[in-house]
Structure 1
């Protein structure tokens, strides 16, 4: 069931993306003749007054079809409500609406999570649940122990929640081989150990600890309370949205800037479903955050200036605006075909790699 929940999450996010394109076109009176969830042979079809709706065999994808590309369409090619005959701004709205829908849906998911599951009871500082299994780690050398609470790094007091964890992590990463004075709370006593982060292979500081938010817990799990009205729900959702968006954007920046060392972090649909299934089986609330994270990733990926993706289509529109006319159809089709081949090749590679890395598959071949 957890696997089905993860697949359902991906399918919903794809539907949201395609609904963005569909709604933006319909709102402007642009003809839309197909709305399809998935690819391949159709499992179900419904012919509406103006649009054919379909669910297809492979659910991880979808498309909105326009009669511009249909040679059998009864709509004349000079119809002003064909997408290709609309001004550049109208077409740009339709193309970018899928990305916007994914970004907005991520925020809706995060506010829904707060409204349904509540707000964690957090306290200032960062908890140290355990140390890394490294005998000579900087944390052990400084005398840190499991159960410690780090209240400040240098002269900077730590706030609460994920923001405090990120502040401490960044301070450690920026200080390889430089001493950092910490303010630590242990059994009601304040201590001031000095830890010297050790540089890792990428030059970032590491001290060898696991960090977590500090808050009230029940049976080892973080305790939640009911939010104080709609204002706190909106604010908490917005704060988490900003945090996830920023981390995702920074992750893409590191991937692009150092692709050779970060390429193995790219995950395909199999790996995403595996992670989602694990979250769904352990934390229903975490599934909302997982879906929001994937929705933001889907939006950012689609806005990249690559052929086939929405960003690539926006590039074509930009070139058309500069030239005063579209690129020749042969050039555009050649670019699109190259993009399709590259995207399919990457998808096949990721599916094979991620499937081979699944624990169940590895166990099967090791037995």
Structure 2
């Protein structure tokens, strides 16, 4: 149960922030947002507020913001359609009923001849007396089909009608908000848990290690090594690593007294054949609660995590990976359960790292991802005109198919790793 709750919290928060980025910038641009969805597949919860339907869907495979004017959102009335019309006080159509019996005293029935529900906003056809009639359509008109209402979107409220700048911002905002979420989580960690001071204070000394044999004790504050001033633990760690087998002179502060220690780091060989020094001490940085430092900590951790993930991505792109190096929803579920066992703060850190990972992956210039759409916007900027929508749609469709194949392969590998190993 703990794993399920942790996964729902982590997944829901990351997807929510990503889609909220798309949503808020779409609304600011004046785009009609039809649906804000967390999850994919069958709807398990839905709530209509204003123009937008907010839903939670069954499959934890992402989410989406459905905007007017995107693929599969075109509303067309073909010739021969029988519709029922309700007019408002200005004699404009405010509601269109499609192919159904309508029980309303003021309904006007029509067989559609022509219609423009996108730009010029009118509908023309033959009434019950076979007369050709034409009505203007209100900009907030509603189409009703099988009991479901859909708001008509005038062209200026569609995604495609917006400037290249607004479309770019709307798509880029999704990955951007993943980085915003990571910063917020790291900031909260800095406020609630404290910011690591990184002071070079020894936390624990390993028995029978070079440090132990030299007389180093827990609580020693390392001031210098071989005359080089030590300001933070990373400086000490790096100095020791670079000097395997060499005698080092340590000056430590122990209860206000200066103590000199002579330590020869063990030489440890790494997998790549390099040798590094180790003296056998453990470290846990003291924590400081300072709101201003927490802000800096949030920025630093977001940046450092981003760099690490980019380095790993370069490693993967170079071909140094197998399916075991990748994880799908099942793998993330498993890892999230393991992380949750180590406490809420560790789960926050894991969530921040996953959010950055999602942001970076979505910015890759691959079809069907946000980065793929941004790539087409870049081509549009260079050409001075959009790429043909059918051609772009075909590229994205191929991308979706390939991504789904990869997702199935990764998920199957996750299942085998979880149940058969």
What TM bracket, shorter-length normalisation? 0.7 to 0.9
Contact kept, 8 Å, 1:176 with 1:196, in 2: the verdict is no
User: Is the Cα contact below 8 Å between 1:127 and 1:150 reproduced in 2?
Assistant: no
Change (3 A) 1:194 1:244: farther
Residue of structure 2 equivalent to 1:93:
169
Which residue of structure 1 aligns with residue 118 of structure 2? 76
Poorly superposed stretches of 4+, deviation over 6 Å: 139-150, 208-211
1:256 aligns with 2:293: no
**Structure 2 counterpart SS, 1:76:** coil
Q: TM-score, normalised by structure 2?
A: 0.68
Q: Which runs of 5+ in 2 are unaligned?
A: 77-115, 120-153
The question of whether the paired residues in 2 share the 8 Å contact of 1:176 and 1:203 is answered with no
* 1:47–1:331 CA distance, 2 compared to 1 (3 A): same
CA drift of 1:168 comes to 5.6
Preserved contact between residue 92 and residue 317 of structure 1 (Cα < 8 Å)? yes
Which position in structure 1 is the counterpart of 2:11? 10
Question: Match for residue 40 of structure 2?
Answer: 39
Q: Which moved more, 1:178-187 or 1:319-328?
A: 178-187
- The Cα of 1:346 is off from its aligned counterpart by 2.3
CA contact (8 A) 2:265 2:279 kept: no
Q: Which residue of 2 aligns with 1:191?
A: 261
Report if the CA contact (8 A) 2:244-2:265 is conserved: no
Aligned-pair distance for 1:18? 0.1
1:200-259 CA distances to partner (integer Å, 9 max, x unpaired)?
A: 34465545688754446xxxxxxx56x2xxxx2242243244135324323422431464
Which residue number corresponds to residue 26 of structure 1?
Answer: 27
Q: From 343, 363, 368, give the equivalent of 1:303.
A: 363
Specify every segment of 5 or more residues in structure 1 that has no aligned partner in the other structure, as ranges: 217-223
Higher deviation after alignment, 71-80 or 86-95 = 71-80
Structure ID, larger Rg: 2
- Which residues of 2 match residues 108-147 of structure 1 at below 5 A? 108-119=184-195, 123-125=199-201, 127=203
The corresponding residue for 1:352 is: 412
Contact 2:36 2:66 in 1 (8 A): yes
Provide the residue aligned with 2:270 in structure 1. Answer: 200
Provide the aligned C-alpha RMSD in A.
3.7
Helix, strand or coil for the counterpart of 2:33? coil
Asked whether the 8 Å contact 1:33–1:67 carries over to 2, the reply is yes
Q: Tell me the distance in 2 between the aligned counterparts of 1:244 and 1:61.
A: 22
| Higher strand residue share | 2
Cα distance in 1 between the residues matched to 2:221 and 2:229: 9
CA distance 1:262–1:205, shift in 2 (3 Å): farther
In structure 2, how many angstroms separate the alpha carbons of the residues matched to 1:29 and 1:233? 37
Aligned with 1:105: secondary structure?
helix
- Work out whether residues 270 and 351 of structure 1, in 8 Å CA contact, stay in contact via their aligned partners in 2: yes
What's the CA shift string for 1:24-53, capped at 9, x where partnerless?
Answer: 110121121111111111112233331222
Please name the residue that 2:135 is paired with.
Answer: none
1:336 Cα deviation from its structure 2 partner: 1.0
Question: Residues 153 and 80 of structure 1: is their aligned pair in 2 closer, same or farther, counting only changes over 3 Å?
Answer: farther
Change (3 A) 1:155 1:333: farther
Distance 1:240 1:211 in 2: 28
Q: What is the aligned partner in structure 2 of residue 67 from structure 1?
A: 68
Q: Larger relative contact order (C-alpha < 8 A, sep ≥ 6)?
A: 1
Give 1:193 deviation, angstroms: 3.0
**Does the C-alpha gap of structure 1 residues 313 and 209 become closer, same or farther in structure 2, counting only changes over 3 Å?**
farther
- Which stretch shifts more, 257-266 or 22-31? 257-266
Structure 1 residues 126 and 248, CA, compared in 2 at 3 Å: closer, same or farther? farther
